[in-house]
Chain A
Amino acid sequence: MEAGKLSKFLKNGAIWGFIVLELIFFSVAGEFLSLSDKAFMDADNMLLLLKQSAPIGIIAMGMTIIMVNGNIDLSVGAIFALSAVILLDSMTWEVFAGLGDWVIPVSWGLALLTGIVLGAINGLIVWKTGVDAFIVTLGSMLGFRGLVFMYNGENPTSSLNWTLVDFAEAQFLGLHTATWFLAVVTLVIWYVMTRTVHGRNAYAIGDNREAAVNAGIKVGPHMLINFMIIGFLAALSAVVFYSESGSVNPNDGQLYELWVITAVVLGGTKLTGGSGSIISTLGGVLAIQLLRKGLGHIGADTSTVNLVIGLILIAVLFLDRQLNTKGKEELKI
């Protein structure tokens, strides 16, 4: 049993060990390679890192539930973009002209509603047709993105509200608004997954769907709720991000689904469902953001960053397989 505990500790703690490793590496390498003379682990830099982690991180929390369930959602990038368009465009609508700054909560509500509805569409199709979530959300990824382009053609949708920008750029107890959103979402979803009936059912369905059905769990509605949660979170991520930037391009949020999935997988969630942890997902999100920022800090360009992240993802999963005792009895291929 002791041996099992050790490997479990290694598995759960691995991502945080990796983060520490990254911090050390970039701090040391930064001393020699960085063009700026600021230290990598500068407080401002770290706070910025957390803020920049938020858009991907918020969605990754939802993706963890979806993947624990044994599903996947490829449409989150498109939901992100469409919600952003609704958020910014609705602020300029004639009907809301008399609201003044009260248009902000209204637009937020509309954007979040958009996310929930789009998620519900995914969930309903998965539930009612029984088609694999990968295929369904691959379709809706294309479809939702099509809607973004139909809305405003190739042009960006813009609306800058200074009250909103002030709110988005505010710092409370040192942390940026976006960081607070990430923290709250992480805490809430962690609570859902570890303490609630819904979370318990999510693991059961992902591990053995048939046994879950036989235990009387209503799998279809459960999945619908999860797709609505991730839709909501994708929209929330857009709300947090575009409140500050004020302008959305129709191509924004592309490849977000892949960054999100990468973060979740780095955090140890299995693609086959049944296991995964919110806290480890947070680790995965931070590890990726650290890598992007760190490589930038030592002067690497974007293409190098992508190459390195790709290699590390494969290396980490290989290591995970080695650590996983079950892997040893598997057939050689």
Chain B
Amino acid sequence: MTDKTPALRLEGIVKTFPGVRALDGVSFSVMPGEVHALMGENGAGKSTLMKVLGGIYQPEEGQIIVEEMPTVMTSPLQAKSKGIVFIHQELSLAEELTVAENIYLGELPRRSFGRVDWAKLYAQTDAILEKLKVGFNAKTIVGDLSIANQQMVEIARALTVDAKAVIFDEPTASLTDAEKVVLFDVISDLQSQGVGIIYISHRMEEIFKITDRISVLRDGSYRGTLETRATNEEEVTQLMIGRALDLSRNVSHHEMGDIALEVRGLSCGDLFKDVSFEVRRGEVLGFYGLVGAGRTEIAETLFGLRDPSAGTILLDGEEVRISSPADAIGKGISLVPEDRKGQGLVLGMNCRDNMTLPQVGNLSSGPFVATGAETDIFEKYKEKLDIRTPGWKQTVGNLSGGNQQKIVIGKWLSMHPKVLIVDEPTRGIDVGSKSEIHNLIRELAAQGYAVIVVSSEMPEVLHVSDRIVAMFSGKVMRTFTSEEVTEENLIQAISGIAATDKVA
């Protein structure tokens, strides 16, 4: 931060939508070579601000200043030509094309008659890839790369221009810990080249690891900028939500009931092998492991989406075979899936119909839907779970992530399952709703449900679980009780250090 000219500066940005002041005079700046975190709950205005920066929205007031030059952004492409580049959470790559073609998509170097200059293309691409120190080359097909490497392709794309500021939007959402390290290396390289970086994330650990300053938005207005070194998580959280957040370890112990679900030696091809565990009524069993450790696959097998290749599943002590989700639901196993929008909800349907979808057949009289009974169920769980929606007619797609998740949870609770499996309960949910969902999970256990929580966030599993199953490459490494577990021994278990030499 030797240079005193900000790479990018926003001044008093105001953007309103009918009835909402989405951005209310937001100002902040990012210096060359600085990593500047932008934080705020969902709906705080981060995405709107980014859309203003990318020229998708035009602000009513305020200015965007790139290296002291007031600039009007008209499109993401134009923003890129000014040196403002976005790395989006959702990758937008053509999977069938090569890395080089993706990086120069729309700007392929040409020879006469519009032919592509392949030699130049590959040479330029390899030069960029070398800077990023990645393990693939220009001719690799993007679809063959891991998500982390695909993200590197996106970053490489950003480097084709003389980038002044790079905006990362939740870049680590789908990365493993090892991949995160690589990403952070790349970010620090960019930093040393004097690029200003805006880093949007919900994850405190990362923010405190890599950023220099933190700016916070709440309800569309700017709440202040903190020096990362001089602040702590509580202060940032308070600024974001206006109150403190409880992420303490789970210590509340209540009476446990009988074993609801027991799994013995369950295997599914190479996805997971010889997995055994049991979960009691009133207990929250956490599953923790890296991406690809087989956690989600176990959940899917229990829910009848995959056929196990070996092993037995016992429900209330009786052996069962689960052949389909319908079968699982009938037997009392419910799954709140990882991808809420893709697998959990029918986004175009209203709240009530989504909640009663699995049991609409039971509620009916003959072939006809009993809408009154449906509405009763919705109203009951709306109150129970504190779902904030104007009414049951509201389309689910219009709700916030936290409320959508509550609809999915309510959907299963209203059917009183024996076992509730929750895969990534708070993915893409803002900090405030996160603790609500956590409390809800604890409360369900207290009410006597057997709950399985699959998560890739360590604070989350530590917070909600009574016991934690640590997985590594398809195997159960160890099952911890909440007294035994520490962050250190949990990390060791899930990275396979205690086991063989197969360290990823």
Contact = CB atoms under 8 A, between A and B. Distances in A.
Contacts of A195: 368-369
Interface in A193-229: 195-201, 203-204, 207-208, 210-218
Interface residues of B, number: 30
B358 A274 contact: no
Contact of B325 (A196, A199, A200, A214): A214
A225 to B, nearest CB: 11
A213 B325 contact: yes
A1 B18 CA distance: 10
B346 A212 contact: yes
A210 to B, nearest CB: 5
Interface stretch (B112-120, B218-226, B359-367): B359-367
Contacts of B342: 208, 210-211
Contact of A216 (B343, B345, B347, B358): B358
A197 B367 contact: yes
Given A214-B335, A218-B326, A208 B369 contact: no
18 contacts: A196-B369, A197-B369, A200-B353, A200-B357, A200-B369, A201-B360, A203-B348, A203-B349, A204-B346, A204-B349, A204-B357, A208-B343, A208-B346, A208-B348, A211-B346, A212-B346, A212-B357, A216-B326
B353 A210 contact: no
A215 B411 contact: yes
Contacts of A192: 367
A257 to B, nearest CB: 26
Contacts of B328: 216
A64 interface: no
B346 A197 contact: no
A91 B135 CA distance: 74
B329 interface: yes
B325 A207 contact: no
Contact of A274 (B329, B348, B360): B348
Interface of B: 18, 303, 305, 324-326, 328-330, 335, 337, 342-349, 353, 357-358, 360-361, 364, 367-369, 390, 411
A214 B343 contact: yes
B364 A203 contact: no
Which one of A207, A208, A213, A214 has the greatest number of beta carbons of chain B within 10 Å?
A214
B320 to A, nearest CB: 16
- The 6 A-B pairs of least Cβ separation, nearest first, read A216-B326, A216-B329, A215-B358, A215-B357, A196-B367, A207-B348
A207 B347 contact: yes
A7 to B, nearest CB: 13
Contacts of A200: 353, 357, 360, 369
A215 B325 contact: yes
B344 A214 contact: yes
A274 B350 CA distance: 12
A200 B350 CA distance: 11
Contact of B367 (A198, A210, A274): A198
A217 B345 contact: no
Contacts of A1: 390
Contacts of A198: 367
A280 to B, nearest CB: 16
A173 interface: no
A83 interface: no
A50 to B, nearest CB: 29
A192 B348 CA distance: 19
B367 A207 contact: no
Nearest to A210: B343
A210 B330 CA distance: 18
Contacts of B326: 216-218
